[in-house]
Structure 1
């Protein structure tokens, strides 16, 4: 049989086993606390049935139709650099357009 004092002096038993229990036990505990958080978020996301009836689904195609612009007449205009005077640069760009 092992001597109890020999086990108490062993560094693996003294430091390794509690550390291993802390890491493994902590991961299980963390999982449980995280699950509580995600369950609470699911409950908050649920809409009231009367409000849900008012909300209409929006598709990507509908939003794209709203954003269509005339690409042929579009012009890329850069903004002023930090060392340039923005008012002076805007006036200069307006003169070039006309």
Structure 2
């Protein structure tokens, strides 16, 4: 029926099967390589042991309560938004102008 010579001449066997193996094998290979990448990122993101101990000791609500108390006690009436210098402006000159404005207002 089918001889080895006729299979070697068949274009599907000659080009299609290797292409199919490349696509399917490449998919599995990429999955393994990307998994290595994500595992390395996970290891790099771990917290310092001292910081991790502090975080696990305190509960999240306690931390939020402390931050709320800090914000409640802050004096926001005297807060003033000061913009930074633009790229074409001299930063020292701009800072001196802002300081002189603040001393004149006080």
For the criterion TM > 0.5, the same-fold answer is: yes
Partner of 1:22: 22
Gaps of 5+ in 1: none
Greater helix share, 1 or 2?
Answer: 2
Partner of 1:87: 92
Q: Taking structure 1 as the reference length, what is the TM-score of the superposition?
A: 0.58
Partner of 2:67: 64
Residues matched between the structures, number: 90
RMSD: 3.7
| C-alpha displacement of 1:63 | 6.5
Alignment CA distance shift 1:61-1:26 (3 Å)? same
| C-alpha displacement of 1:13 | 1.6
Where relative contact order (Cα < 8 A, 6+ residues apart) is larger, the structure is 1
Alignment CA distance shift 1:53-1:24 (3 Å)? same
